[in-house]
């Protein structure tokens, strides 16, 4: 039988199986929801298995439906040598500090190899480029080996920012991949742009097509909406 | 004499009689106030008896009048094999976590058979359809047997969301019924749409007519109001 | 010498003389400030004596002037068999729970006979009617004996709501009198409408005339203001 | 060597020399900043010496410059038989309760003779009158002896309100002087109106001229500004 | 091996090497971000080495990228006899009190010679002048020796304000340099104006040119933006 282990800090608890020597991915929804969209793609495409969840009094009361079944809003998944921390809500800033401590404690106990997080950079115009950053000279060198452009300056907000410095303190290599976004709205096309890089980093073969299809659907709907808004007169509520 | 038992968490206390082996319904007012409206209908139609209430420092100071008598704003009712947790105010998110723990603890001690919660799905246009979700494969199968369409993806907010995952952790089957709503306003017609499904699930025979009548009354009043707003000139406050 | 007794909860303290077997009135300012306005009338007309006050860290820093003397903003008054809890500020919701516990504890220790609170019901148009509600069947019957119409459904907010259910838990009879108000502004005319009922309930003979005079003064001033607003051109700040 | 004594409550600490048998003045900035403006005048004109300060985690991070030197934002000054508590920021309401306790504790230990606080009354039109209130019949009588009109009814907000009732509880006489203000802006002219009364009460001879000059300067600047606003076209940011 | 020492208060921890007998500079971003901009210049020009950081639950979750590497948002740097506390985010006011205690404790233990902080004074029109203030008569005298004009009156907000009074309490000399700003936006030109004074105070030779170049770049971009805003018609979102 699988043993669930609790990793607890003052404001949150990780209830999860232990998985040794894995690469850990973190997908929480910052601007563009990049990490969350990419995380769901990996769950589907790699048929990842849920191995645990994070629980906290400070989370919003929320369940997420997946094929009709209510699941925890912050789940942990695993497949061959890869572990994914996947959140479906924006982590409250007051929780991020303790949560990053709990995740890094989990990684230390499980001798995790490295951390990869996902974030976004806001641009005025998209050039479809992707950039990376890391938490040490060594970790940065690896990104160079992948011929990934480096994001030299800027802020990394949210859980991924907190994890980057926290892992550095514990000498765990970590990197962050940045997709270009125009605004805060969900952007599956931006998330898709990271798939190739991730495929190389993890030596996997995930297909970004579902995200590109989703992006086209959203764009179609927005164009449709824009047309209707221009054409329809404002209608009375009761006629 | 009936014995009242206290189930206490750090922020709320259930003061209630114990009722063994019951199906537990939860009716707190999310969008459209579906759970609350449906809960009041059940209290009236099934002549449910109040067996307790939930108390918390974090509730708003509030009493609710029922036939001229002030009652607690969060009450627990019971009738043959059915227990209803009924709230007349929106549960503060900071209370939901502890409250869902207290309710599930009550259910475990009372060997409750299952949980049924009520919620809503916001639609652009109503099709009068109802959908369900559950907290496990087994619980989901039962909904399929009722020929109830499944809501595959989405968020379940509030106490009902928190209860769905909390019961799953304790292996208590739970399901959630979703009515279609257009906005956040009280929608008795939407609540009525759930009555047939609930009749089948609980093998009861509740009549939705009172809710349909209430819906018609609200709609009449809104039409009347719309007419008056169009016809009346803005009147001076003092003449 | 009079002995002051402290009744303390985690967020407030009652410092007061004990008065046995009294009817307790509660006057905190909800919509229309009914309870507060009525309370001040009783203090003046019944020449009630201050016997204590409530103190709390969570109160706003505030003193109230009465004939040039600074007094506590939440005071306790007494006269023949009547005790009045009178607040001059809106009780913060986070204090109401503990405060209602402290007041009911005071009532239990003093064997208080019953509680009467005051509140308001918002109407579109005034009909000068008054309504009542109670915290038990027995308490409700008494209101019927007074030929007082019952307010069957609705919410009772604030300290008076919290006290109605809290006294019920301790088997202390309580009732609430509701005056009609149009909005949240102080309404001495509405407060005056409750005086006759209270006279019958307490077998006293208070004259509502001072409130009606105050109401006329307010109304005169508002009419005057309305005229000036219509006639005066907007004046420059510096000429 | 002077000994500094700490008077500590749960949220603030007074670090100060002890001064026995003094009259204590309190100058915190309520509407019109009356107490603060008057306090600074006294410091200058009476050449008061700083004897301590109040420190609190809940104060805003702030230093005040005085002749180029950074000083604590809440200081305590003394001169012949007079002690002044002078704040340069609006006391957070959550601090006022504990701070008034600490100040009154300091006064009790130092056998302070009385407390005089300063506040304002908002009027539609100024009549240059000043009013007083007190915390007991005896304290009020003294104001009558000064031929000072009494402010019969109203609210006294802020630290001065909290101190008036807190000193009453400890049988320390206290009074409050009210200047007329039109709005919340700093009003040196209103502060100046209190100087004559204070001169009589403390048997001192402070000249209000510096405040009247400051008032004229402010008024000149506002007139100038009003003219410029009327004459200048809105200018583009970059030309 | 270098030893890291923890200096902890109830809400933040300094994790840093000890550096004895240094002059301590503090650069947190108040209006115009003067301290932060100037701090980064010193790090670059003096090739300062990071010796530690400050950590706190109450910080926003944030990492800062520097040449592609994620670093803590509040870092401590050192070079010959100079230590710099450099923050890349606005310190939450609730943290400033404890943090100033922790920094001054660090300074006491390390026998720091003096503190220099940076801030800004808002002006209607720039005159390119710089001013200073200090935390004692002696510290002020030194600024006079530098022929630096003194800022006689005003408020010093933020961590620099809290540090000025806190160091005074511990008899550590401290001064604050003020640059002129027009508003709250980052102002490298204003930060540059402080460089000459700092060069004299620290006997260093830092070149302000990089800040002046940055200022020109910002100004160019704003002019460009202003032109485009004037010329371009508002474009439809979807065409």
Note whether B135 contacts A237, CB cutoff 8 Å.
Answer: no
Give the distance from residue E41's alpha carbon to the nearest chain A alpha carbon, in angstroms. Answer: 15
Facing residue for A157 by CB, picked from E56, E61, E237: E61
Facing residue for E70 by CB, picked from A93, A133, A158: A133
Instruction: Kindly report, residue by residue over B120-129, the tens digit of the pLDDT.
Output: 999 999 997 8
Do the beta carbons of residue E83 and residue E1 sit within 8 Å? no
Strands B154-157 and B69-71: unpaired
Tell me, what's the pLDDT at A65? 97
Tell me, what's the pLDDT at A238? 40
Tell me the torsion sign for CA atoms E39, E45, E51, E57. Answer: positive
- Look at residue E39 and tell me whether its pLDDT is greater than 80: yes
Q: Is C228 on the interface with D (CB under 8 A)?
A: no
What would the mean pLDDT of A111-130 be, rounded to a whole number?
94
End-to-end alpha carbon distance in chain D = 64
Angle between helices A34-45 and A209-231 (to 10 degrees): 130
Give the distance from residue A184's alpha carbon to the nearest chain E alpha carbon, in angstroms. Answer: 16
Q: Is C159 on the interface with B (CB under 8 A)?
A: yes
Interface test with D, best of C43, C61, C92 (most D CBs within 10 A): C61
Q: For the sheet containing B4-8, what is the strand order?
A: B4-8, B13-17, B49-55, B74-79, B82-87, B23-27, B114-122, B174-181, B131-134, A69-71, A62-66, B154-157
Q: Is B159 on the interface with A (CB under 8 A)?
A: yes
Q: Report d(CA E180, CA E187) in Å as an integer.
A: 9
Tell me, what's the pLDDT at C237? 41
Half-sphere exposure of E218 (CA within 13 A, CB side): 12
Interface test with C, best of D154, D176, D218 (most C CBs within 10 A): D154
pLDDT tens sequence for chain C (239 residues): 578 888 888 889 999 999 999 999 999 999 999 999 999 999 999 999 999 999 999 999 999 999 999 999 999 999 999 999 999 999 999 999 999 999 999 999 999 999 999 999 999 999 978 999 999 999 999 998 999 999 999 999 999 999 999 999 999 999 999 999 999 999 999 999 999 999 999 999 999 999 999 999 988 888 887 887 666 554 444 43
Residue percentage of chain E with pLDDT more than 90: 83
Question: How far does CA E20 lie from the centroid of its chain?
Answer: 21
Q: Report d(CA B208, CA B215) in Å as an integer.
A: 11
Q: Is A76 on the interface with E (CB under 8 A)?
A: no
- Look at residue B233 and tell me whether its pLDDT is greater than 60: no
Instruction: Kindly report, residue by residue over A183-197, the tens digit of the pLDDT.
Output: 999 999 999 999 999
Q: Tell me the three state secondary structure of residue D14.
A: strand
Helix (H) or strand (E) holding A130: strand A130-134
Q: Is D32 on the interface with C (CB under 8 A)?
A: no
- Look at residue A58 and tell me whether its pLDDT is greater than 60: yes
Query: Measured between beta carbons, which residues in chain D are less than 8 angstroms from residue C65?
Result: 133, 151-156
> Looking up tokens 């699941």, which residue turns up?
A71
For chain C, the average pLDDT equals 92
Facing residue for D156 by CB, picked from C57, C59, C65: C65
Facing residue for C93 by CB, picked from B60, B71, B238: B60
What would the mean pLDDT of A158-163 be, rounded to a whole number?
96
Partners of chain E (3+ Cβ pairs below 8 A): A, D
Q: Is D164 on the interface with C (CB under 8 A)?
A: yes
**ipTM here:** 0.90
Angle between helices E34-45 and E209-231 (to 10 degrees): 130
Q: Report d(CA A37, CA B93) in Å as an integer.
A: 26
Query: Measured between beta carbons, which residues in chain A are less than 8 angstroms from residue B132?
Result: 68
Q: D135, D64, D134, D56: which is closest to D99 by C-alpha?
A: D56
Q: Is C165 on the interface with B (CB under 8 A)?
A: yes
């Amino acid at each position: 039988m699988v043993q669930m282990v609790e990793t607890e800090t003052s404001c949150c608890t990780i209830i999860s199986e232990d998985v040794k020597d894995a690469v850990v991915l973190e997908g929480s929804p910052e601007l563009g929801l990049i990490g969350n969209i990419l995380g769901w793609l990996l769950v589907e495409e790699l048929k990842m298995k849920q191995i645990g969840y994070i629980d906290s009094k400070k989370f919003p009361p929320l369940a997420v439906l997946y094929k009709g079944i209510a699941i925890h809003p912050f789940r942990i998944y695993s497949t061959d040598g890869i572990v994914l921390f996947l959140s479906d809500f924006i982590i409250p800033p007051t929780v991020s500090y303790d949560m990053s401590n709990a995740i890094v404690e989990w990684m230390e106990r499980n001798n995790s190899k490295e951390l990869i997080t996902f974030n976004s950079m806001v641009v005025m115009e998209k050039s479809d480029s992707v950039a990376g950053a890391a938490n040490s000279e060594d970790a940065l060198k690896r990104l160079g080996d992948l011929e990934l452009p480096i994001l030299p300056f800027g802020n990394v907000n949210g859980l991924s920012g907190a994890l980057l410095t926290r892992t550095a303190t514990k000498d765990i290599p970590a990197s962050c991949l940045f997709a270009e976004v125009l605004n805060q709205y969900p952007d599956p096309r931006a998330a898709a742009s990271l798939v190739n890089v991730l495929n190389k980093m993890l030596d996997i073969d995930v297909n970004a097509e579902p995200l590109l299809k989703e992006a086209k659907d959203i764009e179609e709907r927005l164009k449709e909406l824009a047309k209707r808004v221009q054409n329809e007169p404002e209608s009375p509520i009761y006629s």
